[in-house]
Each structure stands twice: as C-alpha cells, then as structure tokens.
Amino acid sequence: MTSTYNWHESYKAALLETNGTKMRERIHVAEAKIRDRQRVLSEDHGGSPEERQAIADAINGLKALLRESAEWPDLQVPDAGATTPD
C-alpha cells in the first residue's frame, strides 16, 4: 500500500530538483515540513509505523542528498582570491 503524506510532495520536489541552488532551498523546505509533522506526531502519538519509517528514511535521504550535492560545481563558492581571465 502506498500512502502519500502531507510532507511527501516537498520531499519529492527536493529529490527531483536538478538545479543545485534550488535543491538546497527545497531540501530546507522539506526538512521543515517533516519536522512539523514529527512535532504533530509527538504531541498526539498518531501516525502509522509506516509513516514513521518513511519519515526516518526521508530524513536520511535528505541528509545524503545535501552531503552529495556539496560536491556539485554549481554549488561551490568561488574562491575570493581567484582571478578570471579577461
């Protein structure tokens, strides 16, 4: 059974983003939505074991994506001392 959770669309958007700069923004949005859902779950002890596992998987996936995307050329900050050819 496949369930769609309220935070899942923002998570999917982060995973599918190909622009490195936009990806970081989408990762932060997804993390915020997941944290909000975790807060709700901790207050009312609701949710299913499947959703709790999906949240854990999503958090791990976002962390890995952020770590890996740090190596992408379009995300690296240019060296302040570097000169550009004329």
Residue 85 falls inside a structural domain: no
Number of structural domains (the chain) is 1
- Alpha carbon distance 37, 5 (integer Å): 9
Region of 52 on the Ramachandran plot (φ > 0 left; ψ -120 to 50 alpha; else beta): alpha
**pLDDT confidence band for 65 (50 / 70 / 90):** very high
Residue 61 falls within a domain, yes or no?
A: yes
Range of the domain at 61: 8-70
Residue 59 falls inside a structural domain: yes
Within a domain: residue 44? yes
Give the tens place of pLDDT for each residue, 10-62.
999 999 998 888 999 999 999 999 999 999 999 887 788 999 999 999 999 99
Residue 64 counted as domain residue: yes
Q: What is the pLDDT of residue 1?
A: 37
> CA 67 to CA 42: how far, in whole Å?
28
CB neighbours of 76 closer than 8 A, spacing ≥ 6? none
